[in-house]
Homo-oligomer: A and B are copies of this chain.
Amino acid sequence: MVTPHFEQAQLEYARYAVSPHFLQVIQTLHKTGQLSRTDLANELGYSRALVSGIVKDLLAHNVIREIGDAASTGGRRARLLDFNSAFAYVVGVDIGATSVDIGVANFRGEIVERHHDAIDVFDGPEPILTHVVRLIQQLLAKAKIAPGDVDALGIGVPGPVDFEKGVLIAPPIMPGWENYPIRQFLRKTFPQAAVVVDNDVNVMALGEMRYGSGTAVDNFIFVKVGTGIGAGIVVARTIYRGSDGCAGDIGHIMVMRDGPVCHCGNIGCIEAMASGMAIAQRATEAARNNTSAILASYLTAGSAQITAKEVGLAAQQGDRVALDIIKSSGSLLGDVLAGLVNFFNPRMIIIGGGVSKIGNQYLASIRRAILKRSLSLSTRHLQINYSPIVDEVGLRGALELARDHLFVEVAK
């Protein structure tokens, strides 16, 4: 049989090397929360004796602890097993184009410190990552956690990522970051820690899966509508990355054959017609043409360009032009998502990103277009909602990415 095995992994992408049985027990606890030994044996199809041996070792390594009692089932009360909060600490970093969210969490995923800061991703990787490391050190000091006790860092970045190497590939909005060794940079300060880098929307999908609307469903699409448009795909409760790691890059799907030219060079991409940037541009145009007094007033108030947020505010005040922009953007996005619903038949579509705060008309237009254009069979049980945790879904995801890479399976 497999020898029980638990040691430091000495790997840059995982912290501890454990035998398959250990990993199974850890993953089951991660997935379902507190369990008794009997629950574990039933869940995994292991014998009581095997589970007892594994649990004994995990207790000895302080990975888990015994807590309270399970509800009595007539006989002797069973002790429940749970993760030991202090066994490990993880850091999550959600890098956006203009801001960064950083958090420190314990082994149970509970955030102990967090910080939000403005950045400009165009400054390039070294200045940004140097700043990020300093912020992490400050958070750790506040939380009284030694830097050497950080076991894993999860990083979300706004571009396509080679997940194995942990580098960005051909990132359109952050050219200086291409192939920059983010993992190695962070391991200079945290040499003992696993460092995992992923695309920001994949990270958001992971956060949504663990803490948002995705907790109860197997297959869903998380759509981020911000400056650009992207999607994170979950298949069987796992992030689906595709063959080259760029699955979910839906921003350049054609939605109108004779639409405007996109920055990618093609015509009628959804990103050129319904992203936060496109909404802002259409509104700015309307303001300049004086077709909307409210939008024009935002422009005269000093800003060079109306923001998507301001379009939402104008719509709430009943501005018809703003409302039309929001409705048509939602409708176009819904047309694209309808095609993806036919193809992928997800249980749920979750809309996040800044534009998801623009008001309910936007969501209603998305829903209407999806229901109109998708097969009825594929929309019978389909839910389409805003992310309920939109402001922290990226940070939550980055922390979960780190937690997911604490252990690696080693057969011995």
Interface residues of A (CB under 8 A from B): 1-2, 20, 45-47, 49-50, 160, 169-170, 217-219, 231, 233, 235, 240-254, 256-257, 264, 266, 335-336, 338-340, 342-347, 372-378, 380-382, 411
Decide yes or no: A373 and B266 within 8 Å by CB, A20-B45, A339-B339 being known contacts.
yes
Report the bound CA distance from A336 to B343 in whole Å: 11
Complex CA–CA separation, A96 to B104 (angstroms): 57
Complex Cα distance A375/B47, Å?
50
B-chain residues with CB within 8 Å of residue A50 when the two chains form the complex: 1
Q: Give Cα A241–Cα B218 distance, bound, in whole angstroms.
A: 12
Chain B residues near A47 (CB-CB < 8 A)? 1-2
Whole-angstrom distance between the alpha carbons of A344 and B235 in the complex? 11
Which of these, B240, B245, B342, contacts A235 with CB under 8 Å? B240
Q: Roughly how many angstroms separate A254 CA and B332 CA in the complex, as a whole number?
A: 12
Number of copies of this kind of chain in the complex: 2
Tell me the complex Cα distance, A45–B233, Å: 30
Give the CA-CA distance A339 to B231 in the complex, in Å: 13
Rounded to whole angstroms, the CA-CA distance of A46 and B19 in the bound complex is: 11
**Which 8 A-B residue pairs are closest in the complex by CB-CB distance?**
A242-B345, A45-B411, A247-B345, A253-B339, A243-B347, A246-B377, A246-B378, A246-B345
Given A243-B219, A375-B246, are A335 and B45 also a contact pair (CB < 8 Å)? no
Q: Are A381 and B244 touching (Cβ within 8 A)? A: yes
Main secondary structure, interface of A, reads loop
Residues of chain B lying within 8 A (CB to CB) of residue A378 = 242-244, 246-247, 249
Instruction: Collect the chain B residues with CB atoms within 8 Å of residue A342's CB.
Output: 249-253
- For A377, the chain B residues whose CB sits under 8 A away are 160, 169-170, 244, 246, 249
- If the complex has contacts A252-B375, A342-B250, A377-B169, are A2 and B46 also in contact, measured as CB distance less than 8 A? yes
Chain B residues with CB under 8 Å of A380's CB are 244
State how many angstroms separate the Cβ of A338 from the closest Cβ of chain B: 7
Q: Is the CB of A254 within 8 A of B335?
A: yes
Chain B residues with Cβ below 8 Å from A343 are 231, 233, 247-250, 253, 340, 343-344
**Of A243, A253, A257, most B-chain CB atoms within 10 Å:** A243
Given A252-B375, A254-B338: A344 and B1 interface contact (C-beta under 8 Å):
no
Alpha-carbon distance between A215 and B231 when the two chains are bound, in angstroms: 28
Q: How far is the CB of A205 from the nearest CB of chain B, in Å?
A: 13
B373 touches A252 (CB 8 A): yes
With CB as the reference atom, state the residue of chain B lying closest to A409: B45
List, sorted by A's number, 7 A–B pairs whose CB atoms are closer than 8 Å.
Answer: A219-B242, A233-B344, A241-B345, A242-B378, A247-B345, A248-B343, A264-B375
